[in-house]
A and B are shown apart, each in its own frame.
Chain A
C-alpha cells in the first residue's frame, strides 16, 4: 500500500476509536460534563493531561524550532515542563480541595467578588480562543499535506469529530479520548525518533545518542558561519524571562488547571501532575534529540549537493517532495547547480512560487533574493514531518505520524473548547446571570456553548485572522501576568483580598498586553526592549508587577471576611 492509502486507513481507524469512546462515555450530569464526575484515575488523568497539553505545536513545530535555534530553543523545553512543578506543588492539590468546576469559580469565590469572576472569565475565554484557532489550523494543515484535501475541508472534518465527542461526552468524553490520543501521538513521535537515532548514532535511545553528534554539529555550524548549536544568540536575561513566562503561564492556563478537578481526591491531584509530567517528558526529552539529528542530517545531505538526480552527489528524494508542498525552496544564486546552505534568509519573506520551472527543473520564486550566500529556504515544520522519509521508514510509519499530529491537535482543541463552553454555561450563566437555572438547563446550555465554540474556532481555522499566529505565543505571558498571582495569593495568603487581586490582574494583563501590542503591531523595534526583554518574556515582568500591586493594595484595604479566611484554611488540608 502507498503512503496515502495507509494514511486514510490509520486516520480513519483512530477517528473510529474516538467516536466509539464518545458514545461509551456520554455525560449524564453537569458534573460529568465539567469534571468527568470527579472519577478519573490519576494515571488516566496524567495521560489525558499530557495529550491535552501537547498540541500541534509541541508535536510538529517544537523540534523544528529547536533545530534552528539550538540552545535558544531550550526556553520551550524548560518552560513547558517546569510549569508542572509549579502546578503540582502550588496549585493542583488546593484547587482540587476547593473542588468547584473552573478557574473563575475559584477566583470569584475566594475573593468573594463578581468583578474578579468576570475578569477571570474574560481572561480564560481570550486565552483559550487564541490557542484553539491554531489547533484547528493544525488539523487542516495535516489533512492537506498527507491526504491532499483542501485545508478548509480538513478543518471541517476536524470540527465534526471534536463536536461529536466534546458535545456528547463533555469532560468525560474528552478525558478518555485524550488517553487514546496520547498513546497514538507518543508512539508516532517515538518510532521515527528511535530509528533515526540508530541510523545516526547506533544508539536506540535518542536522549543518550544525541550527545555523540553535538561536537560534530557545532563544527558544521562553524564551517557554514552559523552560531554554534550548543551556544545560543539571545541575551541571558531574555532567555531567563521567556522561560519564566512560559513556566508560570503553563501553570496558569485554564485548560490545564481544570484537569486536576477531575480526580477523586487531593492526593490523586498531586500524583496525576507527576504522571502528566512524566508522560510529557518522554516527548520533551526526545524532541531536542530529534532536533539535533535533523539539523545534522540536513546539513550533511543537502549542503553542496547537486539538484539534478544525475549529479555526483544528488539531493535526497525528500527534498523534491517537500519542494512540491512549498515548504522548501531553493534559489541557485551562483548558478552552480548545487545547494549552498548558509546563515541568513535566501530571499525576503515566505516563498511566492512561479509557474515556470528553473533550468534544472527546480521550482522558482518571485521573491527578491538577498545578497548573502544562502540559497535554501526551509520551513521549520518539515523537520518532524519529514523525519520518516529521511530515515527511509516504511509507509505505515509516515501515516502514523499524520495520525499522531492529528491526535495532538484534536486533543488540545477539545480541552480548550471545554473551557470556553464551561466559562459561558457555568461561570457566566449559572454563577452570574441565572443562578436559578436547573441542572438540565445548565447541561443543555453547556452543550450549546460547546457547539458555538467549535463553530467559531472552526471559522478561525479556515480564515485565520492575521493576529492569531502572532498572539498564540503570547497566551502564556497573558496567563502568567493575570491568573497565576491571583491564585497563588489566594491560597498562600489569608490576607489577600479582592481589591488587591482585581487591581493586580488588571494591571498585570494590561501591562503585558500593551507591551506585546506595542512591539508586535505598532512598530516597536528590538533596541527599545526594556532591559533587553522581548515581548515573549514580558509576562514575567507583568507577573511581578501583578504580585507587587496586589501585595501593596491589600496592606491598605480591609482583610477578607472571616468566612473566606476559614475557606482558605479548609483548602490547605486534604481532609
Chain B
C-alpha cells in the first residue's frame, strides 16, 4: 500500500510537471501566447517563469504528502 500510494503521488505530480513545462511552455505555447497577462505572452511566461515556480511548489507538496504517508504507515524516521 505504502509503495502504491507513493507511485500514485509521483504520477500525479509528474503529470503536472509535464503539463506546465512541455505542455504550456512548448507544445501549446503558440496558442497560449495569444493571451497576454501583465505584458507576458502566457506560453512564453510559462517557459521562462511559470514552470519554475510550479516546480518548486511540486517538491514541497511532495515532501508534505510523503511525510504524512510515512507517519500513517509507521515508517517515519525520528
Contact = CB atoms under 8 A, between A and B. Distances in A.
A270 interface: yes
A81 B22 contact: no
Interface in A86-118: 88-90, 93
Contact of A82 (B51, B62, B70): B51
Contact of A230 (B26, B44, B63, B77): B44
Interface stretch (A139-147, A235-243, A304-312, A331-339): A235-243
A415 to B, nearest CB: 21
B59 interface: yes
A316 B62 CA distance: 49
Given A82-B21, A271-B63, A574-B77, A214 B56 contact: no
A208 B38 contact: yes
B52 A78 contact: yes
Contacts of A84: 55, 59
B55 A277 contact: yes
B39 A82 contact: no
B3 A572 contact: yes
A213 interface: yes
Interface stretch (A17-25, A188-196, A281-289, A528-536): A281-289
B34 to A, nearest CB: 12
Contacts of B2: 572-573
A563 interface: no
A240 B26 contact: yes
Interface in B32-47: 33, 36-41, 44-45, 47
Contact of A89 (B14, B38, B56): B14
B67 A78 contact: no
Contacts of B29: 71
A274 interface: yes
A212 B10 contact: no
A310 B8 CA distance: 69
A85 interface: yes
Interface string A372-410: 000000000000000000000000000000000000000
A236 B47 CA distance: 13
B48 A212 contact: no
Contacts of B70: 267, 574-575
B76 interface: yes
Nearest to B39: A211
B27 interface: yes
A74 interface: yes
Interface string B44-78: 11011101110110111011001100100101110
B77 A213 contact: no
A267 B63 contact: yes
A382 B36 CA distance: 30
Contacts of A574: 70, 75-77
Interface of A: 66, 71, 73-74, 77-78, 81-82, 84-85, 88-90, 93, 207-208, 211-215, 230-231, 236, 239-240, 243-244, 265-267, 270-271, 273-274, 277-278, 281, 284-285, 288, 492, 572-575
24 contacts: A71-B44, A81-B51, A84-B59, A85-B14, A85-B17, A85-B55, A89-B10, A211-B39, A214-B40, A239-B26, A267-B77, A271-B63, A274-B59, A277-B55, A277-B59, A281-B52, A281-B53, A281-B55, A285-B49, A285-B52, A288-B48, A572-B6, A574-B75, A575-B70
Q: 8 closest Cβ contacts across the A-B interface?
A: A211-B39, A74-B47, A274-B59, A288-B48, A230-B44, A211-B38, A211-B40, A265-B77
